[in-house]
Amino acid sequence: MEHVIEDQWFASEVSRLIDKLRPHKAFFADVKSGGGKASIVIQFMEGFLADELSSETLARLVDLDLSLAIECFAGLQE
């Protein structure tokens, strides 16, 4: 699942994504018990992006046993 944000703020979109993933909690547990892992990946491609994930949002992420990955491609040196 991919979602593109055009402005600076992204935390509310992460929160909505976690809400959509909540019904799949058992699936994520099965993946982990089989040696796999699942993550939400936030990619910063360009421009200025900054926001804050609340402790409530992070707790819901932990409840699903998901990792949070952040990738930044902005300003890569050649």
Model pLDDT, residue 71? 86
Q: CB-based contacts of 13: which residues, under 8 Å, 6+ apart?
A: 3, 5
SS3 70: strand
pLDDT for the residue 78: 61
Among residues of the chain, what percentage have pLDDT more than 90?
A: 60
Beta strands in 1-74 (DSSP E): 39-44, 67-72
What's the burial of 73, exposed, middle or buried (CB within 10 Å: 0-12/13-18/19+)? Answer: exposed
